[in-house]
């Protein structure tokens, strides 16, 4: 893996998958810039990761994104980990929560893609998701399916210059779950692993390797790479 002098922009790069990709890309010779929503968390990350640059802004805000891209040089690769998770089906979840989950997952990434088009020269990689069911993860399922559809569409619209793909992880212990106690996280991981053919959950580094692969392989586009231990089999 060699990203010497390539410019990589990671949205949500201060923790979890994004942080792991940032570290690996830096070691591979890239110039890495991360965008984080929380300025305090971003500052702490940059202080502990010399060599990585960063900005704090709301990446779901089209105006903020347009202003950002107008101030910076173009990038070779864009990685987005925008989006969250939710539990609950179509009948037992608040309609506002379902809407927000879809907005945060799909429309935020669509807005990002529209803003970034023309500023990315090689690849865009988004984050989908595996392992949920419509009856217990309604908004998240719709958001993930929409991301998968968006990737296929953008791959054609931006070809042949820019490749567009997504990584689809399943439940993984990342900063997304920072509000849950360690005991509860351990229990969730053990419970989830019972339904995974490989019998465990992924490490952050295992999932992050998918983003690196999709950046590096120049003959892959329009694909969703499931790194999920076979949970959907």
pLDDT in tens, 20-76: 999 999 999 999 999 999 999 999 999 999 999 999 999 989 999 999 999 999 999
DSSP 69-111: HHHS--EEEEEE-------B-TTTS-HHHHHHHHIIIIIHHHH
Residue 33 is assigned to a structural domain of this protein: yes
| Residue 232 included in any domain | no
Give phi and psi for 136, each to the nearest 5: -130, 5
**Residue 91: which of 133, 136, 132 has the closest Cα?**
136
Q: Is residue 78 part of a domain?
A: yes
Handedness of CA 52, 55, 58, 59 (dihedral sign): negative
CATH code at 214? 3.40.50.720
Using CA atoms of 21, 72, 35, 37 in order, give the dihedral in degrees to the nearest 10: -170
Asked if the structure places residue 51 within a domain, the reply is yes
Sign of the CA dihedral with 205 first, then 16, 188, and 227 last:
negative
- The string of pLDDT tens digits covering residues 81-139 is 998 888 899 999 999 999 999 999 999 999 999 999 999 999 999 999 988 889 989 99
Which two three-digit tokens encode residue 160? 């042949």
Q: Tell me if 75 is assigned to some domain.
A: yes
- Whether residue 185 is contained in a domain is answered as yes
pTM exceeds cut of 0.85: yes
Does residue 1 fall inside a structural domain?
A: no
Tally of structural domains, the chain: 1
**Which residues constitute the domain of residue 164?**
7-227
Residue 2 within a domain: no
């Amino acid at each position: 893996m060699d990203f010497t002098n390539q410019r990589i922009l990671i949205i949500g790069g201060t923790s979890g998958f994004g942080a792991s990709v940032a570290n690996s890309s830096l070691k591979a010779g890239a110039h890495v810039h991360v965008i984080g929503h929380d300025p305090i968390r971003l500052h702490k990350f940059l202080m502990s990761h010399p060599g990585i640059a960063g900005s704090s802004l709301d990446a779901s805000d089209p105006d903020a994104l347009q202003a950002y891209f107008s101030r910076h040089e173009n990038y070779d690769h864009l990685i987005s980990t925008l989006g969250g998770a939710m539990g609950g089906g179509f009948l037992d979840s608040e309609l506002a929560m379902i809407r927000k989950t879809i907005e945060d997952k799909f429309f935020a990434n669509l807005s990002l893609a529209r803003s970034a088009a023309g500023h990315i020269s090689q690849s865009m990689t988004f984050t989908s998701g595996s392992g949920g069911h419509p009856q217990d993860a309604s908004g998240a399922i719709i958001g993930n399916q929409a991301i998968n559809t968006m990737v296929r569409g953008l791959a054609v619209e931006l070809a042949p210059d820019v490749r567009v793909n997504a990584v689809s992880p399943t439940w993984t212990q990342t900063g997304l779950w920072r509000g849950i106690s360690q005991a509860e996280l351990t229990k969730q991981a053990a419970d989830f692993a019972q339904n995974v053919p490989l019998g465990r959950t992924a490490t952050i580094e295992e999932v992050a390797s998918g983003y690196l692969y999709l950046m590096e392989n120049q003959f892959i586009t329009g694909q969703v790479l499931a790194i999920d231990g076979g949970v959907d089999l």
